[in-house]
């Protein structure tokens, strides 16, 4: 109860803070000679690091990662129980920075024959029929303003198990952020393993 109230008032404080900053910003930009306000652009036509809405900015400030809704109720538990490995689907994780989110082509390699009666599989098959890929919602990412360039390969090669950061997927259905991956979490492990903690190792 107190925690919620605290968070609530913190939110109000932050919003007021942001609002006053914005007021100052607006006044400042009108005050300076020949001021040009930031370009008014249509979000769908440009790419920009600006937040889409103020609410996004606030969310990011408090490091909130909204739990996404996946289009298909995928279950890691079942696949791992059937003998699959993480890298079967999440390719690239030992050779480069990113882990692949597999395309529907990979799934259908098995699921054109396996478990075709299950409703979720039928949903997926429907995507495939339409020529569409599944719109998986990203679970793991850093906010752009953290400016982190995480590279999977050195971690995998160093023998860091996937579950250290991603949790024990043998018990999970969809992916969820079960580990609080803040910078302290990364640094703890880096210090323990005596690996570089220089800023430019990750931030560039």
Partner 1 sequence: MERRDFFKISAITGAAATLDACGKPEQQLIRFIPDEDLVPGIATWKPSVCTLCPAGCGLTVRVMQGDAEVVRNGKLGLIRMGLAKKLEGNPQHPVNRGKLCARGQAGLQITYNPDRVRHPLKRLGARGSGEFQEISWDDAVKELVSQLSTLGQKNEAGSVAFLTRPLHGQRRTLVEVFLKAFGAPAPVSYELFDEAVLRRANLLSFGHAQLPTLDLARARYVLSFGADFLGTWNSPVAQAIGYGEFRQGRPGLRGKFVQVEPRLSQTGANADEWIPARMGSEGMLALSLAHVILNQKLRPSSPGHAASLISGWAQGLPDYAPEKAEKLTDVPAAKIVELAQEAASHEPAVGVVGGAPLAQANGLATAIAVNALNELLGSVDSPGGIFFTAAPPFAAGTKLPEPPERSQGRFGALNAVLQEILLDRPHSPKVLLLHDVNPVFAAPPDAHVQAAVEKVPFIASFGSFVDETSVLADLILPDHSPLESWLDDVPESGLLAAVATVAPPALYALYNTRAMPDVLLDVAHQLGGNVSASLPWKTYDEMLQAAFADVEKKAGAKSGDIWKKAQADGWWSSGEGSAASGKSRLSTSGTPSHGAVTMSEPQFDGALEEYPFSFLPFASTMLYDGSLAHLPWMQETPDPLSTAMWGSWVEINPRSAERLGIRQGDLVEVTSQHGKLQAPALLSPGIAPGVVAMPVGQGHGNFGRYAGHRGANPVSILAAAVEPETGALAWAATRVKISRVGEGKLILFAGGMRENAAEDENR
Partner 2 sequence: MAHKWGMAVDLDRCTGCEACVVACRAENNVPTAGEDQAARERVIHWIRVERYWEGEFPDARLKFRPVLCQQCDAAPCEAVCPTYASYHNQEGLNGQIYNRCIGTRYCANACPYTVRFFNFYNPVWDKPLHLQLNPDVSVREVGIMEKCTFCVQRIKAAEIEAATDKRGLKDGDFTTACAQSCPPKALVFGDLNDPTSEVSRLARSRRATLLLGELGTLPKVSYLEQDSWHSEND
Interaction site with partner 1 (CB under 8 A)? 18-19, 22-23, 25-26, 37-38, 40-46, 48, 50-54, 56-57, 66-71, 91-92, 95-100, 103-105, 128, 131-135, 137-138, 141, 152
**200 belongs to the binding site for partner 2 (CB under 8 A):** yes
Evaluate whether 169 touches 86 at the Cβ level (below 8 Å): yes
Cα–Cα distance, 150 to 141 (Å, whole number): 9
Nearer to partner 2, 55 or 114 (CB): 55
| 146 interacts with, out of partner 1, partner 2, none, CB within 5 to 8 A per kind | partner 2
Residue 76 near residue 172, CB atoms below 8 Å: yes
* Count of chain residues binding partner 2 (CB under 8 A): 28
Q: Which is nearer to partner 1, 37 or 82 (by Cβ)?
A: 37
Angle at 130 between CA 128 and CA 133, to 5 degrees: 50
The nearest distance, CB 71 to partner 2, in angstroms, is 24
- Residue 180 touching partner 2 (CB under 8 A): no
CB burial of residue 120 (10 Å; 0-12, 13-18, 19+): middle
CB atoms within 10 A of CB 202: 19
């Amino acid at each position: 109860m107190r925690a919620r109230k605290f968070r609530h008032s913190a939110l109000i404080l932050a919003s007021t803070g942001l609002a006053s900053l914005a007021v100052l910003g607006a006044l400042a930009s009108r005050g300076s000679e020949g001021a040009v306000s930031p370009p008014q652009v249509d979000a769908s036509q440009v790419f920009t690091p600006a937040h889409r809405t103020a609410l996004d900015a606030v969310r990011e400030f408090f490091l909130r990662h909204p739990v996404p809704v996946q289009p298909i109720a995928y279950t890691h538990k079942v696949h791992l129980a059937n003998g699959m490995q993480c890298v079967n689907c999440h390719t690239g994780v030992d050779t480069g920075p990113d882990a692949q989110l597999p395309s529907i082509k990979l799934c259908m390699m098995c699921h054109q024959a396996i478990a075709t009666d299950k409703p979720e599989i039928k949903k997926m098959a429907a995507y495939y029929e339409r020529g569409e890929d599944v719109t998986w919602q990203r679970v793991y990412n850093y906010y752009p303003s953290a400016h982190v360039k995480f590279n999977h390969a050195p971690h995998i090669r160093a023998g860091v198990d996937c579950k250290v950061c991603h949790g024990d997927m043998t018990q999970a259905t969809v992916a969820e952020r079960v580990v609080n991956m803040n910078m302290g979490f990364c640094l703890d492990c880096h210090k323990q393993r005596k690996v570089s903690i220089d800023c430019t190792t990750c931030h560039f």
